[in-house]
Amino acid sequence: MSHLREDDLILHYYGESADRAAVEAHLGACAPCRDSFAGLRADLAAVADDPAPDRGEDYGPRVWRALQPRLPSRTAGRRATAARWWAPAALAASLVAAFVLGRHFPTGPSPAPIPEQGRDRIFLVMVGDHLERSEMVLLEVVNAEGTGTVDVHSAQESAASLVSANRLFRMNARQAGEPGVASVLDELERVLIEVAHGPSQNGPEERAQLRRRIEGGDILFKVRVLGSRLRSKEKDMAVPGTAS
Amino acid sequence: MERMDGRDDDTETVARARAGDANAFRRLVERHSHNVFRLAYRMTRNEHDAEDVVQETFLRAYRSLHRFEERSHFGSWIYRITANCAYDSLRARERRQEVTEPVTTDAAADGPVARMPSREPAPDRLVFGGEVRRRVALAMGRMSALEKSAFTLRHLQGMSIEEIGRALDLDASAAKQSVFRAVRKVRDALGRDPGLRPTP
């Protein structure tokens, strides 16, 4: 009697045998194959599922808030200049700017639409500001001194507030084919999350560990370099005729 | 299989979203976010990556709404997109980590199962529960992005091999072979320690 192959048993286990009745008949008559199938079942039963972390009841609206600025206009069609990675978020930046202006000058005349290049500049300034604030938070953590525990609560709050913006910038960069920028932002986000979710009272050991994590990946250096590139780009855009 | 279909009111909401009603699309996002996240997390096993997958999934869905066939279930459709995005995420992670583990075909494992050692479960496996979990995690770590995706979708998500092929843009044969390779990796990881694999 020829025996069933392991692949046949795997398909049978998942209920995808081409001829289920034939496999069952064989298993009924063949002890070695029956043993093998029992072994397979036992092995696969060991692969259990990890429950996903609970997102909370407001998760749907949170997903929508993060998604909405990234949705392309359904009427405008796709722009040919998709390679500019900051473009979608630049639109968001102009909306933020319009909102802020509206709040401060609610009775004034309606502002004229912000030109595309102006939006790009606003966005570059926003990312530059984000990188500077991130750098300050990381420096605060790295430079925390003391022999006992140090309260890093304020740095944690700042880090938590930077994570969402970082995510938006990073995803735009990745989508527009800027892996270098996305990679730095990805690394930065992981560190920010680590700071935000760490203990608020850091002992010397925890501080040293976090410092090693930050300094080990050269994230501060990378953030500075990226910030410098963006500032330079923003200055170029300020001079007519030099914008890319 | 855990599914997200069965929501009768999706049909009308999808129709409105396709007509350009952003509010309708918002309702779909809010309604399906939890399930999309659960699948994304199940596949990536990483909260951070799963969140990215959720965003990417809805973005792709929004862009592809015109291709959605109205007679289909929106829940199943968004599931397929999620699986595809999660697979992309795993591949990106693979590239980032520069994992160069080759995908090998174990010829010996293709032979008759009668040649395999007996793998009867025994009570002592329970004692080694922690070790079993560790080894399963090790096996998952050794899988390629494709194997991990196909295996997770088949084993944990309950998708058929045909559905997996559609979700990952593969033919059914490639999806099937990926599941086979993944299962072998799990069994290899579990089979090396005699304490975990009692001999007959």
Query: Averaged over B37-59, what is the pLDDT?
Result: 94
Which tokens go with A51?
Answer: 């429950």
For position B131, what pLDDT does the model report? 82
Alpha helices (H) in chain A, listed in sequence order: 6-13, 20-29, 31-45, 59-67, 87-104, 116-142, 153-175, 179-197, 204-216, 219-238
Tell me which chain B residues have a C-beta less than 8 angstroms from the C-beta of A72.
62-63
Give the nearest partner residue to A2 out of B63, B112, B179, using CB atoms.
B112
Nearest CA in chain B to A172: B56
Distance from C-alpha of A61 to C-alpha of B60, rounded to nearest angstrom: 18
Test mutation, B27, B57, B183, chain A, max A CBs within 10 A:
B183
For position A242, what pLDDT does the model report? 40
Which tokens go with B134?
Answer: 């560790």
Q: Average per-residue pLDDT in chain B?
A: 80
Residue A74 forms contact with B (CB below 8 Å) = yes
Whether the per-residue pLDDT at B197 is higher than 60: the answer is: no
Which tokens go with A80?
Answer: 């040919």
Test mutation, B97, B105, B113, chain A, max A CBs within 10 A:
B113
To the nearest whole Å, the CA of A155 is away from the closest chain B CA by 21
3-state secondary structure of B20: coil
Whether the per-residue pLDDT at B133 is higher than 60: the answer is: yes
Q: Tokens 């044969």 sit at which residue?
A: B173
Flag if A46 and B136 touch (Cβ within 8 Å).
yes
Residues A122, A114: contact at Cβ < 8 Å? yes
Which tokens go with B185?
Answer: 């990796």
Start-end of CATH 1.10.1740.10 domains in chain B: 10-96
Q: What are phi and psi of A95, to 5 degrees?
A: -65, -40
Flag if A167 and B51 touch (Cβ within 8 Å).
yes
Distance from C-alpha of A214 to C-alpha of A212, rounded to nearest angstrom: 5
Give the nearest partner residue to A63 out of B58, B116, B200, using CB atoms.
B58
pLDDT > 90: what percent of chain A? 23
Interface size A-B, in CB pairs within 8 Å, comes to 143
CATH number of B10-96: 1.10.1740.10
Residue predicted with more confidence, B116 or B178: B178
Whether the per-residue pLDDT at A83 is higher than 50: the answer is: no
Give the nearest partner residue to B29 out of A52, A64, A183, using CB atoms.
A64
Question: What's the pLDDT tens digit per position in B143-155?
Answer: 999 999 999 999 9
Complex ipTM: 0.78
Quick one: residue A16, left, alpha or beta (phi over 0 = left, psi -120 to 50 = alpha)? alpha
Give the nearest partner residue to B119 out of A43, A66, A71, using CB atoms.
A43
Furthest CA-CA distance within chain B: 64
For position B105, what pLDDT does the model report? 39
Query: Averaged over B158-186, what is the pLDDT?
Result: 94
Residues B119, A40: contact at Cβ < 8 Å? yes
Question: What's the pLDDT tens digit per position in A148-175?
Answer: 677 777 788 888 888 888 888 888 877 7
Flag if A190 and B48 touch (Cβ within 8 Å).
yes
To the nearest whole Å, the CA of A199 is away from the closest chain B CA by 19
Quick one: residue A48, left, alpha or beta (phi over 0 = left, psi -120 to 50 = alpha)? beta
Confidence of residue B121 (pLDDT cuts 50, 70, 90): very low
Question: What's the pLDDT tens digit per position in A194-241?
Answer: 888 877 777 777 777 777 777 777 788 888 888 888 877 777 766 544
Give the nearest partner residue to A43 out of B42, B190, B200, using CB atoms.
B190
B85: which residues sit within 8 A by CB, 6+ positions away? B40, B53, B56, B57, B60
Tell me which chain B residues have a C-beta less than 8 angstroms from the C-beta of A166.
none
> What is the second-level CATH architecture of the domain B107-191?
Orthogonal Bundle (1.10)
Residue B50 forms contact with A (CB below 8 Å) = yes
- Burial (Cβ within 10 Å: 0-12, 13-18, ≥19) of residue B77: buried
For position B103, what pLDDT does the model report? 44
Residue B128 forms contact with A (CB below 8 Å) = no
Residues A49, B42: contact at Cβ < 8 Å? yes
Nearest CA in chain A to B139: A47
pLDDT > 70: what percent of chain B? 75
Ranges B94-98, B142-146, B194-198, most confident? B142-146
Residues A32, B114: contact at Cβ < 8 Å? yes
For position A228, what pLDDT does the model report? 80
Distance from C-alpha of A148 to C-alpha of A43, rounded to nearest angstrom: 49
Sequence-distant contacts of A132-135: CB under 8 A, at least 24 apart: A132/A227, A133/A158, A133/A162, A134/A162, A134/A166, A134/A188, A134/A192, A134/A223, A135/A220, A135/A223, A135/A224, A135/A227
Distance from C-alpha of B85 to C-alpha of B89, rounded to nearest angstrom: 6
Start-end of CATH 1.10.10.10 domains in chain B: 107-191
Residue predicted with more confidence, A113 or A193: A193
